Amino acid sequence: MQEDSKGGAINTGGFYLFLAAITCAMAYVVWPFAAPLLWATLAAIMFQPLYQWLLARLGNSPNRAAIASLFVITVAVLVPGFILGGLIVDEAAKLVIAFQRGDIDLVSLFNQIIAALPMRVQEWLDQSGWNDLSELEERAQQFISESAGLLAKQAVAIGGGVFGYVLSFGVGLYVTYFLLRDGRNIAIMLMQDLPLETTIAQRLGDRFLGIVRATIKGSVVVGIVQGMLGALTFWIVGIPSVALFGLVMAIFSLLPAIGTGFVWVPAAIWLLATGQIWQGLFVIFSGVVIIGMADNVLRPILVGRETGIPDWIILVTTLGGIATLGLSGVVLGPLVAGLFLAGWSIIQEQRDPAPE
């Protein structure tokens, strides 16, 4: 009897070892398509309500509803994204070329700002040595040269890997179709097969969905809105490369507190220092009232409920996720943080159950 029990334990352990090994092998095989699979999963989660709405109006045909949802995603999200991306790349290239040719002189722009300051401030800067811009100019030229080389390198890489980009894009759309159609059933099976208690697995699943939706709605969507408002503001006052600056503003919107102020505050200072008074005042007004309030108004409406993650953890994990995983880290960073906190909170609840 004991030998049978020992043999069963060995067989069970061997099976789990095999399952872990084959899971790692599966992850290694699909790793080249990790990014399109991730964004396909996120798209399926975010557009699941659209799929259900179309499913109820297309005669409960899952295939037709999934195809219609995919068409809406392509027309409403992907095509505008490609167009905007092309504009941003074009503006970035023109900006680098302008720096190389000397059309944009940072030193003269800085001198204009210094000259517009009160005399006491100018004297203090002169005594402290902040008005010596030789080192700043040298570092700026080095940065511009490195940026130009990186831009050229990336252009060659993209041009040489067109097939890979097209393949990844096709895989992403293909997987999105099946996840829209079968995502709920797959999620149910995964929840049942996880080696966890049903209640714990359900809580982690709800936490996963909540963080994904909150991150995309509360960060990505709000960032896009603030970037568009910033680009529109810069276009009104005549600042060039508005699409590029809008993208930079959307990225900085991920940072709490000052956020987009990293972009529009220097722009307003430059406009005021160069005598463009109404333009500078308008940028300040738009940055404080319109762009700044967009986050406070839209985030509660779009998110709907709190993620339970402190702002400083969101900041650190978002920046860390971007540094290690690129654009995917915008979602994966806070997601890992949320699951980490949820897991430890469950352990604490198991150790310290609530008194009856």
Instruction: Look up the pTM and report it.
Output: 0.69
Rounded distance between C-alpha atoms, residue 247 and residue 228, angstroms: 8
What confidence category does residue 140 fall into, taking pLDDT thresholds of 50, 70 and 90? low
* In contact, 173 and 74? CB cutoff 8 Å: yes
The predicted model gives 200-229 an average pLDDT of: 79
Confidence (pLDDT) at 314 = 74
Rounded distance between C-alpha atoms, residue 300 and residue 296, angstroms: 7
Spans of all domains in the chain: 197-347
Of 92-101, 261-270, 341-350, the one with minimum mean pLDDT is 92-101
- Taking the CA of residue 229 as centre, how many other CA atoms within 13 Å lie in the half-sphere pointing to its CB? 24
Give me the chain's average pLDDT, please. 75
Q: Which residue is listed with tokens 């095999």?
A: 18
41: tokens are 């999963």
Give percent of the chain with pLDDT exceeding 70.
71
Reply yes or no on whether the pLDDT at 312 is more than 80: no
DSSP string, 92-126: HHHHHHHHHHTSS-HHHHHHHHHHTS-HHHHHHHH
* In contact, 68 and 53? CB cutoff 8 Å: no
> What is the Rg, in whole angstroms, of the alpha carbon atoms belonging to the chain?
26
Confidence (pLDDT) at 319 = 77
Neighbouring CB atoms inside 10 A of 289's CB total 10
Q: Which residue is listed with tokens 């210094």?
A: 114
106: tokens are 């940072």
The predicted model gives 248-277 an average pLDDT of: 79
Greatest mean pLDDT among 91-95, 270-274, 286-290? 286-290
Largest CA distance in the chain: 95
Greatest mean pLDDT among 46-50, 118-122, 145-149, 341-345? 46-50
Reply yes or no on whether the pLDDT at 196 is more than 60: yes
Supply the angle between the helices 261-273 and 242-252 in degrees, to the nearest 10. Answer: 130
Give percent of the chain with pLDDT exceeding 90.
5
Higher-confidence residue of 332 and 127: namely: 332
* In contact, 42 and 73? CB cutoff 8 Å: no
pLDDT tens, residue by residue, 100-119 = 666 666 666 666 666 666 67
* In contact, 264 and 291? CB cutoff 8 Å: yes
Which helix (H) or strand (E) segment is 254 a member of?
A: none
DSSP annotation of 355 reads P
Of 128-137, 240-249, 344-353, the one with minimum mean pLDDT is 128-137
Confidence (pLDDT) at 113 = 64
3-state helix, strand, coil in the chain (%, to 5): 85, 0, 15
The predicted model gives 180-191 an average pLDDT of: 83
Confidence (pLDDT) at 282 = 92
